[in-house]
Amino acid sequence: MRKLKLQVQMTVDGFIAGPNGEMDWMTFNWDDKLKDYVTQLTNSADCIVLGRKLAEGFIPHWAAVATDPSNPDVAAGQKFTDTPKVVFTKTLQQAEWANTTLATADLTDEIRQLKAQPGQDIIAYGGASFVSSLIKHNLIDEYHLFINPAALGRGLPIFTGLGGTQHLTLVHATAFECGIVVQQYVPKRS
C-alpha cells in the first residue's frame, strides 16, 4: 500500500502561515543538503494531494517555474507540474489545471482509494484546513515537518481538532545550515 507523506513548512511555535495566510517568515535560502532532502522526498512520490486553496497558488506557480529555464528551481517545477495532482474541493466543478483531478467525495474514502492504487507514495502539501483533516482522520503515514527559525505567536495551525492524542515516533531530526530543522515522524498505530 502506498504511503501518504506530509511535507510542510512550520514555525517553531507550530504555525504553517500567519493569521491571514502570511508566509513571509519562511526561510528560502536553502542549502544544497536540504534541497537534496526535498528532491529525495518528492522523487519517492508519483501523486500530489492538495486542498483547493493551496492548489490555486501552488499549481500555477510551479507551472511557471517549469517553463523558465533561467530559474534555478526549473527541475522542481517540472517535477511538480508533471506529477499527477489530486485537489480536494467542495466548490470546484472541474479541474482548472493540467494533470489535475478533483476529489469531491469523503476525504477518508478518497485517500484510502489513492493509497490502494499501485504506484509510488503520495505527498501532501496543504493548506491548513486540508492538512488538519488528514491528521484528524489519521491518514498521514509520514510527517516531514520543516521547522523554520521563526515564531509568530498566532497563525494557522495544523494540529487542531484531533479529538484525542496522536502519538508519533521520531524517525530522525536533521538541522540544516540555513536554520531549518526537518523532523520526520511516523504515527504509532495499534
Task: Sort 59 into a burial class: Cβ within 10 Å, 0-12 / 13-18 / 19+.
Answer: buried
Decide which of 3.40.50.1860, 3.20.190.10, 3.40.430.10, 2.40.110.10 is the CATH code for 4-187: 3.40.430.10
Percent of the chain exceeding pLDDT 90 equals 82
pTM of the model: 0.93
> How far is Cα 14 from Cα 146, in angstroms, rounded to an integer?
10
Q: Evaluate whether 8 touches 158 at the Cβ level (below 8 Å).
A: yes
The three-point CA angle 160-162-167 to 5° equals: 110
Those residues with Cβ within 8 angstroms of residue 32's Cβ, 6 or more apart along the chain or in another chain: none
The predicted-structure confidence for 134-161, as pLDDT tens digits, reads as follows 999 999 999 999 999 999 999 999 998 8
Q: What is the mean pLDDT of residues 16-29?
A: 93
- CA 157 from chain center: how many Å? 14
Domain ranges (residues) in the chain: 4-187
